[in-house]
Amino acid sequence: MVAGAIAGTLTLAPPAGAVTAPPVAVDCPADLVGKATCYTGRDGNGASYAMAVPTAWNGSLVMHAHGGPDLGAESDPARSVGDLDRWSVMVDQGYAWAGSSYRRGGYGTRMAAADTENLRRLFVGTFGTPKRTYVHGQSWGGNVAAKVVETYGGRRGPYDGALLTSGVLGGGSRGYDYRVDLRVVYQYYCRNHPRPTEPQYPLWQGLRADSTMTSAGLRARLQECTGFSSPPEDRTALQQRNLDDILAVTHLPERTLESHLRFATFTFRDIVRDRLGGRNPFSNEGVRYAGSHDDKALNAGVERFTADPAARRDLSYDSDLTGKVSLPVLTLHGIDDPTAFVEHEAAYRATLQGAHRADHLVQTFTRETEHSELSDAEYANSLAALDSWVRTGRKPTARSISSSCAAFDRVYGTGCFYSPDFRPAPYASRVRPRPGGLAWPAMTATQERSWSRIDGIGIAP
């Protein structure tokens, strides 16, 4: 079996001649000492991984898809071990756990989904078939896990349900439009990324291919323009106005402005340079920016560009979701998530509604204001609710899940912050839609097959 993936070898099976060594027992993270046996290894495609099997194993498995994407060239073994530590609450609840660091850094939703499925097969080959298998995705990993559900999670497939937390569920072809807007709005006000004295490049590239800029260098330029890391009283009048205008136009929280700009710089470069062969998948043509001290000047002066339809198609094929879901999916999202806005959940529900699969979805929301650090009591509660849904066939509600959290909070003491009546506004209310939408040609069967052979984002022949 093969599957397309944005930049990376796409086969599920290891390359010919590759040898997958058995997992090696290692020390567990501190929270799991005495509660589980932990393992690490590297699969035949080069993806590092970590596993944990509880001493009192309930017989079920959670496959974890991590967020990011990380941009290192190699698979980082520390990533999966760190994820095991972060999500030890699932092992504490009796579930075996396995998480891949993926075969390389950089963007590639289908690649990451294939690596997650590869690891599930490795787990089964080592420990046997679990009673039930769930896939959990966090942040961009929510996109990956949702792709696992659509690609490998048929009614008779190996997965029984999915838990998506703080998920980036709008898909790559529109899920980063607010960062496209940030990239051009920032440059309009700051004129230092690039500077007039530096080689120029279209901003949809994120960063020119040969630039040696670091995250620290980008931070220095952001500080130079906006004084964002300084107390307000220490900013110049121009810095404060630049900061106010950028935040007002993009609707981004000040506390995550730097991280969004990093993504719109370094991850955009990865997508364009390393995955799309230099082609542009982004557009802001016709977008009307508002909220600044002079919207007329902003709209007249901001850089404009239109996507290459084939590049946008390839990004869509890799990361957009179809809604073709045939198993229970439960989501958990902070209402004031500053990184993956809660409106991503509205986009995902609309996708499933369009596919007539919304009956497979239950969404829950909390009053928390973080992206990656929600309450352990809520994570444990969510997994228990999903497991009960799968075992009994009785679909929970946001209110019933909210009510069941207290029992887990008595164990973890991290709080329950559900808001069962909350409904997110449409995605377009938060992220300016591209006028008229963008049509791109469908991928032919021959082009889809090419994704299994090309070490790239799916550069269509």
The pLDDT, as a whole number, for residue 14 is 58
Average pLDDT, the chain: 91
pTM: 0.92
The pLDDT, as a whole number, for residue 435 is 72
Domains annotated on the chain, with CATH: 24-171+322-425 (3.40.50.1820), 174-316+435-450 (no CATH)
Cβ neighbours of residue 43 under 8 Å, at least 6 residues apart?
14, 20, 49, 100, 103, 115, 118, 119, 122
The pLDDT, as a whole number, for residue 12 is 58
Instruction: Give the CA count within 13 Å in the CB-facing half-sphere of 297.
Output: 6
Predicted confidence (pLDDT) at residue 38 exceeds the cutoff of 70: yes
Q: To the nearest 10°, the Cα dihedral for 219, 225, 228, 233? A: 140
The pLDDT, as a whole number, for residue 281 is 96
Predicted confidence (pLDDT) at residue 381 exceeds the cutoff of 60: yes
The pLDDT, as a whole number, for residue 73 is 85
End-to-end CA distance of the chain: 21
How many other CB atoms are there within 10 angstroms of residue 37's CB atom?
16
Rounded to whole angstroms, how far apart are CA atoms 200 and 207?
Answer: 10
Q: Which of 69-83, 104-118, 238-252, 428-442 has the lowest mean pLDDT?
A: 428-442
Predicted confidence (pLDDT) at residue 88 exceeds the cutoff of 90: yes
Cβ neighbours of residue 2 under 8 Å, at least 6 residues apart?
10, 11, 12, 449, 451, 452
Amino acid identity for residue 354 in this structure: G
Predicted confidence (pLDDT) at residue 456 exceeds the cutoff of 60: no
What is the percentage of the chain residues whose pLDDT exceeds 90?
85
Q: To the nearest 10°, the Cα dihedral for 12, 15, 21, 25? A: -40
The residue-averaged pLDDT of 268-292 equals 96
pLDDT confidence tier of residue 235, bands split at 50, 70 and 90: very high
pLDDT confidence tier of residue 373, bands split at 50, 70 and 90: confident
Predicted confidence (pLDDT) at residue 341 exceeds the cutoff of 70: yes
Helices assigned H by DSSP within 328-414: 343-354, 376-392, 398-412
pLDDT confidence tier of residue 155, bands split at 50, 70 and 90: confident
The pLDDT, as a whole number, for residue 13 is 59
The residue-averaged pLDDT of 328-351 equals 97
Predicted confidence (pLDDT) at residue 447 exceeds the cutoff of 70: no
The pLDDT, as a whole number, for residue 167 is 97
Predicted confidence (pLDDT) at residue 9 exceeds the cutoff of 50: no
The pLDDT, as a whole number, for residue 154 is 79
The pLDDT, as a whole number, for residue 367 is 97
